[in-house]
Amino acid sequence: MTTPTLGNPVPDFSLTATSGKTFRLSEFKDKASVVLYFYPKDSTPGCTTEGQDFRDAYPQFVAAGVEIFGISRDSLKSHENFKAKQAFPFELLADTEELACQLFDVIKMKNMYGKQVRGIERSTFLIDQQGVLRREWRKLTVKGHVAEVLAAVNALSST
């Protein structure tokens, strides 16, 4: 499967979600735009801050017709704990087999404490109601990111 490119449809995929649900991208077609944010690891400082920022802005995303989903390689149990502890109103998706991570090409070699490790490069993707990739943010910085995504969502919904 090739990596989605801007202006083109994103291939359908499914992942196990928190709250006993299964996420299928195709289920949102003609219903809602989708923000998928990939993050390295549950309960780590940057990932917690990013999730809290999405949580705090969640009502604004919903008002704009957007659903948010966080994705990492953590287990469903880890996701359930992280979601409950942070009171996230959105689902977290467990990509333990790296299916979505490979689709969106977010697994990269990173330096951690002087060693090369494979991990998720923090990235966010905005997919419209027709399933078309409209925006992507890669190698992003947490501070100010959610506000930038919300601005893009508002710009998309006003067109």
139: CATH: 3.40.30.10
Residue 12 in domain: no
Question: Distance between CA 144 and CA 7 in Å, rounded?
Answer: 25
Report pLDDT digits (tens) over 97-155. Answer: 999 999 999 988 777 678 888 888 999 999 999 999 999 999 999 999 999 999 999 98
Q: Which residues belong to the active site?
A: 47
pTM across the whole model: 0.94
Report pLDDT digits (tens) over 14-62. Answer: 999 999 899 999 999 988 899 999 999 999 988 999 999 999 999 999 9
Residue 70 in domain: yes
For 20, residues 6+ apart whose C-beta sits below 8 A from its C-beta are none
Q: Bigger pLDDT: 39 or 2?
A: 39
Provide DSSP, 25-89: GGGGTTT-EEEEEE-S-TTSHHHHHHHHHHHHHHHHHHHTTEEEEEEESS-HHHHHHHHHHHT-S
Residue 96 in domain: yes
Q: Is 126 exposed, middle or buried (0-12, 13-18, 19+ CB in 10 A)?
A: buried
The residue type at 103: L
The range of the structural domain enclosing residue 126 comes to: 28-157
Q: Tell me whether strands 91-94 and 123-127 are parallel, antiparallel or unpaired.
A: unpaired
Q: Please state the domain count of the chain.
A: 1
- Taking residue 104's Cβ as centre, other Cβ atoms within 10 Å add up to 24
Residue 102 in domain: yes
Residue 62 in domain: yes
Half-sphere exposure of 154 (CA within 13 A, CB side): 9
Residue 113 in domain: yes
Predicted confidence at residue 159, as pLDDT, reads: 62
Residue 2 in domain: no
Residue 8 in domain: no
Predicted confidence at residue 119, as pLDDT, reads: 83
CB 108 within 8 A of CB 101: no
